[in-house]
Chain A
Amino acid sequence: MESFWVALKAIFVKDVIVELRARQVLPTMVVLGMLIVYILRLVSEPASGAAPLVGAAALWVAFLFCGLLAQERSFAAEQHQGCMDGLLLAPCDPGTIYLAKLCVNVVVLCVFEVIIVPVVLIVFRLSVGARWPDLLAVLLLGNVGISSVGTLFSAAVQLARTRGSLLSIIVLVILMPLMVPATFALLVLFGALPEEVGGSGSLAFVGSFKAAAGYMLAFDAVFVVACWLLFAVVVEE
Chain B
Amino acid sequence: MTLCVRSVSKRFAARRVLNNIDLDLDGGQALCLCGANGAGKSTLLRVIAGLLRPDNGSLALDGYDVRKDCERYKRRLGVISHASMIYAELTVRENLAFAAALHGMRKPAARVEELLNDTALAAFRHDRAGILSRGLLQRLAIARALLHRPGLLLADEPFTGLDNEATALLVSLFRRFADDGGAIVIVTHDVRLGLECCQRVAVLDAGRFRLDAMKTDIDCDRFAQDYLSYARNDSWNRSGSH
Contact = CB atoms under 8 A, between A and B. Distances in A.
Interface of A: 2-3, 6-7, 9-11, 14, 17-18, 21-22, 77, 80-83, 85-93, 236-237
B196 interface: no
B90 A91 contact: no
A82 B90 contact: no
**Which of B75, B99, B104, B144 counts the most A-chain CB atoms under 10 A from its CB?**
B104
Interface of B: 46, 49-53, 70-75, 77, 79, 81-90, 94, 98-99, 101-104, 106, 144
Majority secondary structure, B binding face:
loop
B89 A17 contact: yes
> Among the interface residues A10, A11, A81, A83, which one has the most CB atoms of the partner chain B within 10 A?
A81
A89 B46 contact: no
Contacts of B90: 14, 17-18
Given A90-B102, A91-B103, A237-B51, A18 B74 contact: no
A82 B82 contact: yes
6 contacts: A6-B104, A6-B106, A14-B87, A82-B84, A90-B102, A91-B102
A9 B103 CA distance: 12
Contacts of B101: 6-7, 9-10
Given A7-B102, A91-B70, A86 B89 contact: no
A14 to B, nearest CB: 5
Nearest to B72: A91
B99 A86 contact: yes
Nearest to B104: A3
A85 B102 contact: no
Contact of A21 (B70, B75, B89): B89
A6 B98 CA distance: 10
Closest 8 A-B residue pairs measured CB to CB? Answer: A82-B83, A10-B101, A3-B104, A86-B85, A90-B102, A91-B74, A21-B89, A91-B71
B106 A89 contact: no
A97 to B, nearest CB: 10
A205 B59 CA distance: 57
Given A77-B87, A236-B53, 13 more contacts: A2-B104, A6-B106, A7-B102, A10-B102, A11-B102, A17-B94, A21-B89, A22-B89, A82-B85, A86-B99, A89-B85, A91-B75, A91-B103
